[in-house]
Structure 1
Amino acid sequence: MPDPAPRRTSKAEQTRSVITAAALRLFRRDGYDGTTMRAIAQEAGVSVGNAYYYFSSKEHLVQAFYDGIQVEHAAAAAGVLAREKDFEPRLRGVLEAWLDVAAPHHGFAGQFFRNAADPQSPLSPFSDESAPARAASTDLYRRVVDGADVKIAPTLRAELPDLLWLLQMGVVLFWVHDRSPGQARTRTLVAQSTPVVDRLLRLARLPVVRGVVDDLVGVIATIRTP
């Protein structure tokens, strides 16, 4: 007798997707703070209990949005990673790909940020709940590093994907507050900062700088220790 589990799993994933899509429509229309789980359930055509079955809170529902953004980001960045070998255009292209993917959500991103700024919030990019999205993003920056032809100090290479993810977090913070048309100022920030990062990486190979880089990596390792 065939195992019915795959069919149940497929239906569950479809229901999760319907609820997530409904939530995003309401977030765009009413804002994050103005959207309730009851409204999301009604928009998705499911019961409130069913909505809570798949997502225990509105905050946890947003994790599905984070995960979806990471999938879209990786797909949007695939072209530049396949095309470019120089580190700077690879990094710039990946950051610009994130801006392209995130652009439709800028209107309610500030409300997300107010909640994400709370260290105890599951919406925090550093929370346990955000770990899968954080890992997916870090892995994308690992691909940026691994596929580039730049020589990187060995002690720095292992830490670089995490540092580039932190760079993206800085870009995200700037983007959230950017009210210029099409967030043009954020795009300028990316275009002007990635060459600086590239030059710093190249300088890090110099003997006179290498010791400072090793000390910096040591500091990072220390603050990571629980």
Structure 2
Amino acid sequence: MPDPAARSPKAEQTRQTIVDAAMRLFSRDGYGRTTMRAIATEAGVSLGNAYYYFGSKEHLIQAFYDQLQVEHEAAAERVLGRDSRFDQRLRGVLDAWLYVAEPHHEFAGEFFRNAADPHSPLSPFSPESAPARDASIGVFRTLVTGSNVKASADLRAELPELLWLLQMGVVLFWVYDDSPRQERSRRLVAGLVPIVDRLVKLARLPVARGLVDDVLGLVRDLRS
């Protein structure tokens, strides 16, 4: 696959055309039934050209993840520039994800059924997903850094990844949310944010420090 930095505008346009064609077919025919040949035909390119940009369907989904993350980051930036309150920033970032993901809800379940396999490169925890995952954690790092949250240095360091894990829970709920425009997912975010805000504030109390240290220790242990 060509180096992103070396792509010409025409190559970038061709690549995007292939991604858009894949998304249409995944939505219409399902991920499992869509072939690279069908994607190439839909995009109006040769099969060899499709494979030149994307070695497999999994690479196309990774491109979709990356694209969705760029859109989320842009939407989140508009929120993060308005308020320093931790709860408002968290609500804004989670709502921003629901906003950019909404057009893709119809076929999201197809992707996440494959992503649920721990050995799949589509898993949000896989090495292949590291760029999108790191970028998403970076959004939460910006959220924490620019907020008025008062927390210990250890908790501040781990909070961005913990918030990303919270978002993964929201994503899973959203995938199975069949309410109009996924309204239940929006209510979930509205209810979760005050709880998280209170928990972070409670973590400052001396009586909670031991428990917080245990949780952070567990997180670090599982990461190693």
Q: Could you state the TM-score of these two structures normalised by the residue count of structure 1? A: 0.94
Matches within 5 A, 1:1-226: 9-225=8-224
Query: What's the RMSD between the two structures over aligned residues?
Result: 1.3
Would the aligned equivalents of 1:87 and 1:198 in 2 still touch at CA under 8 Å? yes
- Give, in whole Å, the separation in 1 of the partners of 2:134 and 2:88: 22
Equivalenced residues, count? 220
- 1:98-128 Cα offsets, whole Å, 9 max, x none, are 0010001111111111100111111100011
Match of 1:3 in 2: none
Amino acid at match of 1:36: T
What SS class does the counterpart of residue 179 from structure 1 fall into?
A: coil
- 1:24-69 Cα offsets, whole Å, 9 max, x none, are 1222222323322111101111111111121111111110000000
- Give, in whole Å, the separation in 1 of the partners of 2:215 and 2:84: 27
- Give, in whole Å, the separation in 1 of the partners of 2:146 and 2:92: 13
* Aligned-pair CA distance for 1:183: 0.7
- Give, in whole Å, the separation in 1 of the partners of 2:7 and 2:162: 40
Amino acid at match of 2:15: R
- Give, in whole Å, the separation in 2 of the partners of 1:31 and 1:87: 39
Would the aligned equivalents of 1:171 and 1:186 in 2 still touch at CA under 8 Å? yes
Amino acid at match of 1:87: F
Change (3 A) 1:8 1:121: closer
- Give, in whole Å, the separation in 2 of the partners of 1:144 and 1:33: 37
Q: Could you state the TM-score of these two structures normalised by the residue count of structure 2? A: 0.94
What SS class does the counterpart of residue 142 from structure 1 fall into?
A: helix
What SS class does the counterpart of residue 128 from structure 2 fall into?
A: coil
- Give, in whole Å, the separation in 1 of the partners of 2:223 and 2:149: 27
Of 42-51 and 9-18, deviating more is 9-18
- Give, in whole Å, the separation in 1 of the partners of 2:8 and 2:207: 57
The unaligned stretches of length 5 or more in structure 1 are 1-5
Amino acid at match of 1:144: L
Change (3 A) 1:8 1:67: closer
* Aligned-pair CA distance for 1:7: 7.5
* Aligned-pair CA distance for 1:8: 5.2
- Give, in whole Å, the separation in 2 of the partners of 1:151 and 1:192: 21
* Aligned-pair CA distance for 1:173: 0.3
Change (3 A) 1:158 1:71: same
- Give, in whole Å, the separation in 1 of the partners of 2:96 and 2:74: 9
Of 20-29 and 88-97, deviating more is 20-29
- Give, in whole Å, the separation in 1 of the partners of 2:99 and 2:7: 34
Change (3 A) 1:65 1:8: closer
Would the aligned equivalents of 1:153 and 1:210 in 2 still touch at CA under 8 Å? no
> Structure 1 residue runs of 4+, over 3 Å off?
6-11
* Aligned-pair CA distance for 1:175: 0.4
